[in-house]
Structure 1
Amino acid sequence: MDINFVIEKFLLVTILFAISLLIAMYSTYAERKVAAFLQDRLGPDRAGPFGILQPLADGVKMFMKEEIIPANASKWLFMVGPGLAMLCACIGTAVIPWGQDLTIDGRVIPLQVTDINVGVLYLFGVVSLGVYGVMIGGWASNNKYSLLSAIRAASQNISYEVAMGLSIIALLLMTNTLSLREIVEQQHGWHWNVLYQPLGFIIFMVCSFAETNRAPFDLPECETELIGGYHTEYSSMKLGFYLFAEYINMFVSSAVMATLYFGGYNYPGMDWVATQVGPI
């Protein structure tokens, strides 16, 4: 195996993981700031100017927190749940094309971890596996509130996956491929799929809100009924893994919507930019 190929893929995976974590961290900051604005509050403003270092402070706090495992919990499964949720959220970025191929010293480097011809099916499979992390965590906690929330989360995700899958069938028939890169290339210029499939896009977007437990589909985390949701018994970085997984799923869902319906990286004017910049 070419050592340069291994290094390229390792660097790409590392960069994608770092960017996913960074976006997840500052998504929490943006959400808190917007909520504060709507409620006439300041929001986080202590750590750094305008509170921009608050996500870092929260991360350090989670690392420093005491890790508590309930006495009657299934300890091994209790630890597996958050890790599985985080893993499934991160590996969804592997098949998304993030840009045109780079040419460095005559070597072509694709900005995609792997270009498989069933990328859409891969994404749906990964999203489905993420439900197991939630179910395992809720069941292993030996807490009735966590279990009830996990059942709600699983039933909600499974239900909306059906509608999400049906929403893109027309798009897949139109593009005649399951490869995300080929779907992007077919949307060259202004030939965005959203112009041909607006109803499918709306359904897909609504289902994405449900998949990521955003309002008004935040039933699994209904604090008024279920305390804190399926991660009620979690603390320290195990809780952080669940929260990170949720926000990384939001990032991946947004990237998938841009790829399927808005041309991905192939936005209008990109040809001119590529011509001006040229190969590196």
Structure 2
Amino acid sequence: MNALNQLPLNIAAAIRSLFGDPHSIWADLTMDIISIILVIVLIVLAALILILLERKVAGWTSQRPGPNRLGPHGWFQTIADALKLMGKEDVTPAGADRLMFKIAPMIMFALPMMTLAVIPYGHGMAPIRLNLGIVYYLAISAVSTLALLMAGWSSNNKYSLLGGMRAVAQMISYEIPLVFSLLGVVMITQTFNLSQIVADQHTIPFIVLQPLAFVVYLIAGVAEVNRAPFDLVEADQEVVAGPFTEYTGLRWGLFFLGEYGNMTAVAALTTTMFLGGWQGPAILPGYVWFFLKVGIIIFFQMWVRWTFPRIRIDHLMGLAWKVLLPLSILNIFLTGVGIYIYQLIVPRIGG
């Protein structure tokens, strides 16, 4: 099992050994390029698998078979959909701001790659190691609000603009309790380094110490990804498809990939901050435990989507400001009190 745990690190060491100096700038650049390619492949494969899984979960929750025609058990349905998108005409509205209209989906697709690059997938397996990993993750993920606003405004469509403005209101509102919910873990570990946070959970995962923060983060994370029941950004009955109304073909597909990429990133950070990251019993390699935990969180998000109806926008905003924000502040207070009591008791026991 130790050999399987060390397999990715051994492969990385073998690639570095091809250079005269394993720690030269060229070796580092090569490993960075390989890491970027692996993250891109991860997002694309995750999207292909999750689209099929989403349909299967939708069928399961509503007692329908789901896709079952193309390929065994409908496994090739996603490939067919991808080929269909590639064949669709790329249409740009006549009155649109062409530059912003074309850049917005690229930004939306690039953001999950940038956030997943700092996640530790196993021991020593973070593509980019940052001491301010949480700060970097939150800063990059917040840019998705700008991408949706750019898409809505540049389309020159009132429904798209309304969807973009809803995105700004919703995502900024839920970012605040989301950030506050992570502060409890930071207070306990005294670090922003994601690898160190995982290491500090070697005895007990933080979901045990921070159950309230976990619940708040999970709800706010679903809202940040604009998944039902928080999908007011693209409420079909009200604003057609929101910021995505005027997009076709691959540009619409990039938004779709970005959504599933962001969903994977939220699940990855949830696993890292609250579920012990890659740590688990030695019967499986660490990176396998990591992806199993991520899969459970993603399944939960899908289950929620196909179980609860879309909520009204006033209820949506009220949940963020009147419920989740006070709960996240309460969690910070309780965490501070717990740390203070712990610091009082432990020296006396040790003495």
TM-score (norm 1): 0.90
The partner residue of 2:184 within 167, 170, 186 is: 170
Paired residue type of 1:123: Y
For residues 269 and 208 of structure 2, the distance between their equivalents in structure 1, rounded to whole angstroms, comes to 16
Query: Contact conserved, 2:197 with 2:273, CA < 8 A, in 1?
Result: yes
Q: 1:271 to 1:28 in 2, by over 3 A?
A: closer
Q: SS of the counterpart of 1:117?
A: coil
Q: State whether structure 2 residue 52 is matched by structure 1 residue 29.
A: yes
Q: 1:207 to 1:272 in 2, by over 3 A?
A: closer
For residues 244 and 272 of structure 1, the distance between their equivalents in structure 2, rounded to whole angstroms, comes to 28
Q: State whether structure 2 residue 263 is matched by structure 1 residue 250.
A: yes
Per the alignment, residue 122 of structure 1 pairs with: 136
Paired residue type of 1:93: L
Paired residue type of 1:85: M
Query: Contact conserved, 1:194 with 1:261, CA < 8 A, in 2?
Result: yes
Per the alignment, residue 104 of structure 1 pairs with: none
Paired residue type of 1:162: I
For residues 215 and 271 of structure 1, the distance between their equivalents in structure 2, rounded to whole angstroms, comes to 33
CA RMSD of aligned residues (A): 1.7
Paired residue type of 1:156: Q
Q: State whether structure 2 residue 3 is matched by structure 1 residue 3.
A: no
Q: 1:75 to 1:193 in 2, by over 3 A?
A: same
Per the alignment, residue 166 of structure 2 pairs with: 152
Paired residue type of 1:82: P
Q: Which moved more, 1:31-40 or 1:169-178?
A: 31-40
Q: Which runs of 5+ in 1 are unaligned?
A: 102-110, 275-280
Q: CA deviation at 1:273?
A: 8.0
Q: Greater helix percent: which structure?
A: 2
TM-score (norm 2): 0.72
Q: CA deviation at 1:266?
A: 1.7
For residues 268 and 204 of structure 1, the distance between their equivalents in structure 2, rounded to whole angstroms, comes to 26
Matches within 5 A, 1:261-276: 261-269=274-282
Q: Which runs of 5+ in 2 are unaligned?
A: 1-23, 288-351
Paired residue type of 2:160: S
Matches within 5 A, 1:93-108: 93-101=116-124
The partner residue of 2:106 within 76, 83, 87 is: 83
Quick check: which has more Rg, 1 or 2? 2
Query: Contact conserved, 1:89 with 1:130, CA < 8 A, in 2?
Result: no
Percent identity over the alignment is 33
Query: Contact conserved, 2:145 with 2:167, CA < 8 A, in 1?
Result: yes
Q: State whether structure 2 residue 159 is matched by structure 1 residue 140.
A: no
Instruction: Give the length in aligned residue pairs.
Output: 264
Q: 1:73 to 1:199 in 2, by over 3 A?
A: same
CA offset digits 1:220-243 (Å, max 9, x no partner): 111011111210000011000101
